[in-house]
Structure formats: structure tokens, C-alpha cells
Homo-oligomer: A and B are copies of this chain.
Amino acid sequence: MNINGVTIEDTFAEAFEMKATRIIITAMDRRWVGHAAETMTGFATSVIGCGIEAGIEQYLEPEETPDGRPGASVLLFAISGKDLTKHLQNRIGQSVLTCPTTAVFSGLAGKPTAMGEGVRYFGDGYQISKLFGDRRFWRVPVMDGEFVCEATTGRIDAVGGGNFLVLGETAEQTLRALEGAIEAMGHLPGVIMPFPGGVVRSGSKVGSKYKGLLASTNQAYCPTLRGVADSKIGPEVGAVMEVVIDGMDPDAVSRATALGIQTVCAFGPENGILGITAGNFGGDLGQFQFPLHEVLA
């Protein structure tokens, strides 16, 4: 398969079931929404090292939020429901409760997961519970008034680790194409690309020669190791970059994969884009497979 002169390898991305939620953060204006949402989703690239993977799904206009203020929807993914609850509450406590003028709401139906339930104790007994319809909110007194936090959010089974890899002539060319792709994919609902700028350059394999290390560099895709180790890339490839996609369901991951690959391929070989492939573990580890040729059909 070939798009605009770029070869698409006949392989599949392997992804994993994760627990996910969506929350809505609102604030006085877009600037303070951004401060809270960016801080909360910082250092959230991988569940292994950060406990949680998180990102801003999109910024919201006032008419799209529960309290009619500017907002952002944030997606969070964890390995278990317990982990999700723990890290969600900690991150709200550190990055949203602290942030001037913010409030937090559930952005998803699903299995109830404690949110304000945990944060409310900061109120030291001065917090108040309010019921609107069947939704419960906690109002916690703080120095700028009250922090409103919905008691629970919903949790669903979702998909972590969707991905594709871009083989390019140089790092700069590959990133130029991926900057366009990440911008494009960022408009799709239900997905985040949790790594810095949406891109990973430290592709890994399972295991290591060092005891206790779960993952290590995937030498098959390292350009400097082409003569030293078994390599999967030709001499024309100077850089490989991966996009990792977490999505609320397989369709969302599939759509984002297709749009991302199409956008990268728009740059073509004349801008240094040589090939597309995907990362998998032979199909035995993950619950989901995304065959590139099907996704792009």
C-alpha cells in the first residue's frame, strides 16, 4: 500500500484495554482553564512512570460547559479503576483545587468513580454537599470563594497504546510532518496523544539485558545501530518517530490513526517522509489490533 509515494507497511498496531474517564475543568477565562488543564495533564506520558496518561481533549466554549464558563475536557487513562481513582484525585488536588477560579465536573457517564468524594476533605468540615437532579457536587471553601467539584465521574473501558511509526530522512523533516499531523489529530474527539508534543522518539521493546528493567531501546529502529544490531530500517532512514494514541473506544483510535497517517503522507518523499509502520508485540499481549491497511481503507 502506498499513499502519495509513501509506503504503508502491511502490519498492525497493538493496543491495550485501559480504564478511562473524561472530566470538565472550568475557570474564569481561557487563560486559567489552560493553567489548570496543562498542569494537571503534565508529566502524564505513560502509566509506567507517571501512574496515569492524560491530555487535553479540547477546549470548550462557555455554552458547552455545565457552569457556562470557558472550559476544557481532559481525558485520563490508567491500568485499573483503582489507579484511575487514586491519580485522578491526586491530580485534581494538586493542579485544580489549587488553581484560581476553577471547578471540576464529570464529562462521562459510566461506572461511578470518586472525584469530589475524596477532594472534599480539604474543606475540613466546612464543605457543603449539593444535589442538582441526580448529580452531587461538593462546595469546598477556599481563599477565592468555593471550589465546586462533582462527587463522582464516570469510568469506561477504553484503549491505550494505539500507535503508528513514521520513517523519515531526517529528524527535522519527520517532525515537520508530524507537527501537522498532531495539529490535525488534535481536532478529533475521544483521543489524546500523551507524549511531549504528541510524539515519541524513544521507541522501546519489552525487556532488557539489565535485570528488573521492563523495557529498553528498540535497537531495530535506531539509525545509529544499523550496522551493530538487527535493523528494520534501510540506510535512507535517518529518523523514526512514533505517535501513541489513547482513545475512548477503538473507533476513535482508528479514526485518529488514519488521519495522522494521511496527514504525514501528505508531505511525501519530497519532504523526507519515506514510510509508515506500526508497533506491536506479535499480537499476543494487547486486546486490540489496528491493521494499518484496514484502518486506511
Chain A residues with CB under 8 Å of chain B are 3-4, 28-32, 35-36, 38-46, 49-50, 61-63, 68, 70, 90-91, 93-101, 121-126, 140-147, 165, 171-172, 174-177, 179-181, 183-184, 187, 195-197, 199-205, 208-210, 213, 215-219, 221-225, 228-229, 238-242, 255, 258-259, 262-263, 265-268, 270-271
Contacts and interface: CB of A to CB of B under 8 A. Distances in A.
A258 B268 CA distance: 10
A290 to B, nearest CB: 16
Contacts of A219: 124, 126, 141
Given A50-B94, A210-B124, A216-B123, A175 B101 contact: yes
How many copies of this chain sit in the oligomeric assembly? 4
Contacts of A210: 121, 124-125
B43 A40 contact: yes
Contact of A208 (B50, B121, B142, B266): B121
B143 A267 contact: no
Contacts of A124: 205, 208-210, 213, 216-217, 219
B224 A100 contact: no
Contacts of A30: 30
29 contacts: A28-B171, A31-B179, A39-B196, A43-B91, A43-B95, A49-B93, A61-B70, A62-B62, A100-B197, A100-B199, A101-B171, A123-B217, A124-B219, A126-B219, A126-B222, A141-B217, A143-B165, A143-B218, A144-B241, A147-B202, A176-B184, A177-B184, A180-B181, A180-B183, A255-B270, A259-B268, A263-B263, A265-B266, A266-B266
B267 A265 contact: no
